[in-house]
Structure 1
């Protein structure tokens, strides 16, 4: 049963990392290459869509990792799981304090109502997101190492 939990948790976190990595290094660069009206509409739609999904994914990953840490307490590799949990907590705190406020504004923007500094706000979101991606990649790597 513990093995199934470990694998399921690692896959769930790995998929989350893949989505966030793709947003940072594939989707947003594609949207940014489009004309401004299309870029703002695409980012707004992405903000609404992923903004509805990702909180559940992050919280689910936190819960699964916590259950793994408790279930495997005093087994080899549990320290790595606990550190991964700390990194996932950090990613949630970063999200709530830095990324969500920008996303909540951006997901309502249209070409008609976007603020003058919309590109600067999106660039700030991107910079915070790169850091968050690095944090969750590190958490994922620790979970994979804990399996070994």
Structure 2
């Protein structure tokens, strides 16, 4: 049963990393390259859609990692899982404190109500997102290492 939990947790976290990586390095660059306000429309739609799903994914990943750490406490690699869970806690805190406030503002933006500093806010969100990606990639790598 522990093996199934380990694999399932690693897959869930890995998929989350893949989605967040693709947002940063594929989707947002594509949207930023669109003419007019089309990119902004795509980003605000993404903020609404992913903003509804990602909290469950982040918390779920954290819970799964914590359960793995507890259930596998006396097994090899438990320390790596604990560190990965701690990094996932950091990612949740970063999300709530740094990214969600910007996301909540941006998902209501239209071309009629754009704040003057909207590009700076998007750039700030992107910067925080890059750091968060580094954190969750590290957590994922630790979980994979714990499997080996």
TM-score of the alignment, normalized to the shorter chain, above 0.5: yes
Pairing 1:10-21 to 2, within 5 Å after superposition: 10-21=10-21
- CA shift for structure 1 position 45: 0.1
Determine helix, strand or coil for the equivalent of 1:75. Answer: coil
Give the corresponding residue for 2:88.
88
- Which whole-Å CA distance do the structure 2 matches of 1:14 and 1:36 have between them? 34
Distance, in Å, in 1 between the alignment partners of 2:68 and 2:83 is: 12
Q: 1: distance between equivalents of 2:36 and 2:140?
A: 35
CA–CA distance in 2 between the matches of 1:97 and 1:83? 21
Aligned counterparts of 2:119 and 2:32: Cα–Cα separation in 1: 9
Report the aligned-residue RMSD: 0.6
User: How far did residue 16 of structure 1 move?
Assistant: 0.2
Aligned residue pairs total 148
Residues 46-103 of structure 1, C-alpha deviations (whole Å, 9 max, x = no match): 0000000000000100110000000001211000000000000000000000000000
Q: Which runs of 4+ in 1 moved over 3 A?
A: none
Partner of 1:118: 118
Give runs of aligned pairs for residues 5-84 of structure 1, distance below 5 A: 5-84=5-84
**Partner residue of 2:99?**
99
How far does the alpha carbon of each residue in 1:102-131 deviate from its partner, in whole angstroms, 9 at most, with x for none? Answer: 000000011111111100100000000000
TM-score (norm 2): 0.99
Gaps of 5+ in 2: none
Question: TM-score if structure 1 supplies the norm length?
Answer: 0.99
